[in-house]
Homo-oligomer: A and B are copies of this chain.
Amino acid sequence: MANLENEELEKLSKSSVALSAYEMGQLQDELHDWHVEMKGGVNQLFRNFTFDNFAGALEFTNKVGALAEEYNHHPEIVTGWGYVQVRWWSHVVSGLHTNDFIMAAKTEQL
């Protein structure tokens, strides 16, 4: 899947299913700086971004927040002095969906 960041998000429902380990691996090939982490039994797509100070970090948090609002898909964002950690996952599938990899790719473009 080329240009993951340009793919359209799929509307999820209760019958949507999480990606298999194989599918996650395929999608992750395009996102070298992201890794899959299990947290509370739920697979999440995680990346740490570094910044020179707190203001730069908070500015990035707001950019990620605006992206999330635009696509109505929301990550967890950890903001600290010099870093921002972003975690994407899909609540309805209790894990990762292609949508999360698309959002991670869009996050990379910010």
Contact = CB atoms under 8 A, between A and B. Distances in A.
A25 B2 CA distance: 56
Interface in A54-83: 54-55, 58, 61-62, 65, 68-69, 74-81
A78 B76 contact: yes
Q: How many copies does the complex hold?
A: 2
A69 B58 CA distance: 11
Interface in A29-76: 54-55, 58, 61-62, 65, 68-69, 74-76
B76 A61 contact: no
6 nearest CB pairs, A to B: A74-B81, A76-B80, A58-B65, A77-B79, A54-B74, A78-B78
Given A55-B69, A68-B54, A69-B54, A61 B74 contact: no
